[in-house]
Chain A
Amino acid sequence: MAAITVRGLAKHYGELRAVDGIDLTVEEGEVFALLGPNGAGKTTSVEIMEGHRIRTRGQVDVLGFDPATGGRPYRERIGIVLQQTALERELKVEEAIHTYAAIYPRSRDVDEVIGIVGLEEKRTVRIKTLSGGQQRRLELALGIIGDPDLIFLDEPTTGFDPSARRQAWGLIDNLRSLGKTILLTTHYMDEAQHLADRVAVIARGRIVEEGTPHSIGGRHEGEATVRFSLGNTDPEELPEMARAGLDPTTEVITILTHTPTALLRTLTAWAIDRGIELDHLRVERPSLEDVYLRLTKDSEDG
């Protein structure tokens, strides 16, 4: 069953179409990433699903509720981690978690949640003394304390250093293993790739591509790139298919192909026959980043 179904969602601010007709479906237990540059409409879309904003038009169904009218029963089943850290600085970590736990009818065990986010050693310190990463972990704790079926994570790792990001990813993987549905927004390609089962790329208020991180933008069926360095070989001796791909300044040969396996066989057979080692031989698929940049650029040009 779908946890989230969105059809024709739009949010206009006067002339500006922040969200301009979005359709998406997120299945139960799925980790779904909304990927897009700043100002693409990610946060606006998510805040409509959270019930923070009122849509201009379209249908939104989350866990069987309309977020705009779902009220308390709806909010008892979701957890929200906002982009901005918003904590009472003078409270202690466990005080904040206890207070939020009391709001929910079936909250998780406070000690367990502190364990999940790894703040055991900080439970009795004031929130203002926590590092930025620790504060985000506390935000995450407050987001899951009500044992929600669905968790919204709006740019969960923006501003993190690399090791804090790895830690946060580990946490989100833990949530996935609890069977939670997660909708996250991010502008990091590697984050979407690492965490999400499915990705939608959003640009200028529209979804321009949707799929698994593996297949998005036709990555799995697109052309592969085969590269190697010329080395000491005389360019005249190169096989015909490679000669056109030679960049004379860098002396790197680049070949685009739909059939890299067959091409490699020909290429390596040629090299072995001549006793040549192909320096820096690589086969590459377009990265998610390439696809993302192409997709978001296309839509800006359009």
Chain B
Amino acid sequence: MGRDLRLVYQQIKYQNKIFWRTPVAAFFTLIFPLMFLVLFAALFGNDEIEALGVTTAQFYAPALAVFGAASATYTNLCTATSIARDEGILKRVRGTPLPPWIYIAGRVGSAIWMATLAVTLMMSVGIAFYGVEIVGRTFVAAVVSFLVGAAVFAALGLFVASLIPNGDTAPAVTNATLLPIAFVSDVFIPVEDPPVWLETLGNIFPLKHFVAAFGDAFHPALTGSGWSWSGVEFSELTGTGEYAIGLHIAVMAVWGVAAAFLATRYFKWEPQADRRAGRRRRKTQAQTSDS
């Protein structure tokens, strides 16, 4: 077991190295969400948004941090894993004694590490340049929410990777799912009094719960330290509300467990396009020589 843990650690380092040498991935995960923060603060000004009870940056920094974490785990993990499969790297790994779970743990561990960096970077910039406050009382719940969310989105990334045929489709599929959902999940726009169907839509998917569980931890006016089932949304009238992560964690966990189960079941190690082409080739040959 000690040896296996060392291997997990080594695989995480190995994947990290590859990540840093793929500048596009590093840019989209770490820098891209920061650009939104700078942009939003410049566009809207960093004054208090009355309906929310916090400044622009205090709202956006955690929301965009979650967005960065989701792209590090969901988008990146799905894309990188599908490309590695196309290139035959997964198949080669499968032919070595490295247990499959360790390889996957290496990829997931690396993705969560990058998500950690994305979140840390975002919050640090927020604190240093935009007066974002950290609430000590909710800190542990925020960390737990982050870890659960990152793990859930990693599972979703692997689930999508197990469905799609090749790496070329991965960015399209992940972005076409993540971006629209981000718009109904309070990432880019805090929607006030949305139509019911839009709110329901947001409530179904895990991203809004990730944003709420992590983001509300940075709302100084909310009471509680997060450890209860459901809270109370901030109200302009009372000037307060209650922070709770229970329900959010539960919804995310349902998605995560389902995704992990299906990914384990349908995950493929062989290049898919290749295999179909091979079969087609063999079939044509069989047909021509039969005739």
A84 to chain B, nearest CB (A): 5
Question: A16-B279, A86-B91 known; 15 other A-B pairs, CB under 8 Å?
Answer: A72-B97, A78-B95, A80-B95, A82-B95, A84-B271, A85-B88, A86-B92, A87-B89, A88-B84, A88-B89, A90-B18, A90-B22, A99-B14, A103-B7, A204-B289
B137 at interface, CB cutoff 8 A = no
Interface string of A47-90 (1 = CB under 8 A from B): 00011100000000000000000001101101010101111101
19 contacts between A and B (CB under 8 A): A13-B282, A16-B279, A39-B282, A50-B95, A72-B99, A75-B97, A76-B97, A80-B95, A82-B95, A85-B88, A86-B89, A86-B92, A87-B87, A88-B89, A91-B18, A99-B10, A104-B97, A146-B97, A300-B289
- Asked whether any CB of chain B lies closer than 8 Å to the CB of A178, the reply is no
A84 near B289 (CB under 8 angstroms)? no
What is the 8 Å Cβ interface bit string for chain B, positions 256-291, against chain A (1 contact, 0 not)? 000000000000001100100001011101100100
Q: Which residue of chain A has its CB nearest to the CB of B10?
A: A102
Q: Please, which residues of chain A bring their CB within 8 A of the CB of B17?
A: 90-91, 95
Distance A76 CA – B96 CA, assembled complex (angstroms): 7
Q: Is A184 an interface residue (CB 8 A)?
A: no
Tally of A interface residues using CB under 8 Å: 33
A90: chain B residues within 8 A (beta carbon): 17-18, 21-22
Q: In this assembly, does A169 line the interface, its C-beta being within 8 Å of a C-beta of chain B?
A: no
Q: Are B285 and A39 in contact (CB under 8 A)?
A: yes
Contact partners of A33 in chain B: CB under 8 A: none
Query: A100: CB under 8 A from chain B?
Result: yes
Leading 3 A-B pairs by shortest Cβ distance: A86-B88, A90-B21, A80-B95
B→A interface (CB under 8 Å): 6-7, 10, 14, 17-18, 21-22, 84, 87-89, 91-92, 94-99, 270-271, 274, 279, 281-283, 285-286, 289
Closest chain-B Cβ to A1's Cβ sits at a distance in Å of 22
Q: With an 8 A cutoff between CB atoms, is A18 at the interface?
A: yes
The answer on a CB contact under 8 Å between A16 and B89 is no
Report Cα–Cα, A103/B100, bound state, in Å: 12
- On whether the beta carbons of B97 and A82 are closer than 8 Å, the reply is no
Tell me the bound Cα distance from A72 to B22 in angstroms. 31
A142-B283 Cα distance, complex, nearest whole Å: 33
| Pick from B18, B88, B271, B279: contact of A13, CB under 8 Å | B279
Closest-by-CB residue of A relative to B281 is: A39
Q: Closest Cβ of chain B: how far from A155's Cβ, in Å? A: 13
Residues of A within 8 A of B84 (CB): 88
Inter-chain contacts of B274 with A (CB < 8 A) = 84
A104 to B18, CA, bound (A): 21
Which B residues lie within 8 Å of A102 (CB)?
Answer: 6-7, 10
Inter-subunit contact B96/A103 (CB<8 Å): yes
Specify which chain B residues have a CB less than 8 angstroms from the CB of A86 in the assembled complex. Answer: 87-89, 91-92
User: What is the bound-complex CA distance between A78 and B17, given in angstroms?
Assistant: 27
B91: which of A39, A52, A99, A105 is its contact (CB, 8 Å)?
A52
State whether B281 touches A82 (Cβ < 8 A). Answer: no
Which residues does chain A contribute within 8 Å of B18, judged by CB atoms?
88, 90-91
Q: Which residues of B contact A39 (CB under 8 A)?
A: 281-282, 285
Which A residues between 127 and 178 are near B, CB-CB below 8 angstroms? 142, 146
Structural contact, A16 and B94, CB atoms closer than 8 A: no
List A102-118 residues whose CB lies under 8 Å from chain B: 102-105
In the complex, what's the smallest C-beta–C-beta distance from B224 to chain A, in angstroms?
46
Contact A100 B96 (CB under 8 A): yes
Q: Complex formed: what's the CA distance from A73 to B97 in Å?
A: 7
Chain B's closest residue to A37 (CB) is B285
Residues in A whose Cβ lies below 8 Å from that of B97? 72-73, 75-76, 103-105, 146
A100 to B95 Cα, complex, angstroms: 11
Shortest distance from the beta carbon of A295 to any chain B beta carbon, whole Å: 15
| Chain A residues with CB under 8 A of B95 | 50-52, 75, 78, 80, 82
Neighbouring A residues of B281 by C-beta, 8 Å: 38-39
**Chain A residues whose CB sits within 8 angstroms of the CB of B282 once the complex forms:** 13, 16, 18, 39
B95: nearest chain-A partner, CB-CB:
A80
A38: chain B residues within 8 A (beta carbon): 281, 285
A230 to B271, CA, bound (A): 59
Taking the closest CB of chain B, its distance from the CB of A18, in whole angstroms, is: 6
Q: Is the CB of A52 within 8 A of B98?
A: no
| The one of B14, B88, B286 that contacts A84, using a Cβ cutoff of 8 Å | B88
Say whether A16 contacts B289, CB under 8 Å: no
Give every chain A residue within 8 A of B87 (Cβ-Cβ).
86-87
B14 — which chain A residues lie within 8 A by C-beta? 95, 99
With A39-B282, A103-B7: A82-B96 Cβ-Cβ less than 8 Å: no
A204 and B97 alpha carbons, distance in the complex (Å): 32
Cα separation A16 to B290 with both chains bound (whole Å): 11
A52 vs B98: C-alpha distance when bound (angstroms): 14
Bound complex: CA A86 to CA B270 (Å): 11
Chain B hits for A146, CB < 8 A: 96-97
Question: What CA separation (Å) do A88 and B84 show in the bound complex?
Answer: 8
Quote the shortest CB–CB distance from B107 to chain A (angstroms): 12
